[in-house]
Amino acid sequence: MSLPLRKLGRSDLRVSPVGLGCWQFSQRRGRNKYWPKLPESEIEGIVSASLDGGINWFDTAEAYGDGASEMELSRVLQKAGKQPGEVIVATKWMPLFRRAANIPGTIGSRLECLSPYPIDLYQIHNPASFSSNQKQMAAMAALVHSGKIRYIGVSNFGARRMRDAHRFLAAEGLPLVSNQVSCSLLNRKIERNGVLDAARELGISIIAYSPLSQGVLSGRFHEDPDRLKALSGMRKYRGFYRKESLRRSRPVVEALKEIGARHEASPTQTALNWLMNFYGEDVVVIPGATRTSQAASNAAAMSFVLSRDELDHLDRVSRAYKEDPR
C-alpha cells in the first residue's frame, strides 16, 4: 500500500505526501556549512531510494550551497534516467539583502543549475527582502506569465503576509500554491499563529520542513546522547538537542515507538505518518536524508496509515511538550 498523490494547493501538481528536502546536498559550498559534504554515490543512493519508494518531488533552493544542491539534484535525476516532467522540482529565491528586481535577474541561473528540469514550484525563501511583498509577487507572477516557472509558493511566511501574497497573486490571476514552514510533533506553531487556518481557508498547502525536528523524533539522541557530539556546524546548537529539551520530548518518542511497533514502523516513520495525516491533506512533508537508508525509511512512511485513535493519542502527548524558547 502507498498513500495516493495529493494536489498541491490550487495547482495541477500532484505530489506524494512525502517529498525529499535537499538542503543536505549543498556540499558545504558558499556560506552554507550546516551539513557535511556527502559523497556523490550517497546522494545518488538517497535520490534513487526516494524514487523507488514512491517519492515524486524534490525541494531545493538557491541558498543551499549557492546552487550546489540544485546542480546535484539535476545530475542525480539525470543519472537515474528521469526525463523532464517525470518528477516535480521545487526551488527557492533567496531574498536576503535583495530587491524584487533580482527575481527575474537570477531566474536564468536557477534554470541553468536545474537544467534540463523545469521549475514546477518557485518559492520566496523568507520574508527578508528589501522590496515589498507586492513587488515580489508581481515579479514572480511575471515569471509564470513568461513560462519560466509553473507555480508560486512562499516559505516562512506568517499568516498576514501569506494572505497578502495570496491577494496580490489573485490580482494577477494566479494562485499562491504553498507555504513552506517548520512543523513537526515538537513544533506545532502553525496551529497557534493563524498559518494553518489561513492556508485552509485559501486553499494553500503547507509544506512541512524539519518534520522530524532535526532527527530528534527518531529517538537516537535519547538512546545515545553521545551522538550529539557528532553533529556538524551550527546544527548542534539547535534547541531540540539541549538536555532539558530531550528530557521533555522523551514521552513523545516513547509514544512513537509504542504506536510504530503496531505497524512494524520506526519512530521516524510514525512521526512522518502523523504529520502527513493528522491535518488531512493540507500538509505534505519534506524530510531530508544524509544516508540512503534514511531516504528509504522516509519513503516507507507512506506505506501505512495511523488510526484516528493513534493520531489523537500522539496529538495529546505532543501537546504536553513545551518548545524550547531559545
| Catalytic residue (choose from 64, 122, 241, 321) | 64
Which residue segments constitute the domains of the chain, with CATH numbers given? 11-215+280-305 (3.20.20.100)
Please provide residue 187's backbone torsions phi and psi, each rounded to the nearest 5 degrees.
-145, 95
Is 64 one of the annotated active-site residues of the chain? yes
Task: Identify residue 55 by its one-letter amino acid code.
Answer: I
Whether 211 and 188 have beta carbons less than 8 Å apart is answered as: no
> What is the reported pTM?
0.93
> For the chain, where are the E strands, in sequence order?
6-7, 14-15, 20-21, 57-59, 88-93, 119-124, 149-155, 176-182, 205-209, 283-285
Each residue's pLDDT expressed in tens, for the chain with a length of 326 residues: 678 999 999 999 999 999 999 999 998 787 766 778 999 999 999 999 999 999 999 999 999 999 999 999 999 999 999 999 999 999 999 999 999 999 999 999 999 999 999 999 999 999 999 999 999 999 999 999 999 999 999 999 999 999 999 999 999 999 999 999 999 999 999 999 999 999 999 999 999 999 998 778 986 655 555 544 555 554 444 555 566 777 787 889 899 999 999 999 999 999 999 999 999 999 999 999 999 999 999 999 999 999 999 999 999 999 988 765 44
In angstroms, the CA 50 to CA 164 distance is 35
The three cell numbers of residue 36 are: 557535511
Q: From residue 160, give the alpha-carbon distance in Å to each of 97, 131, 306.
A: 22, 17, 33
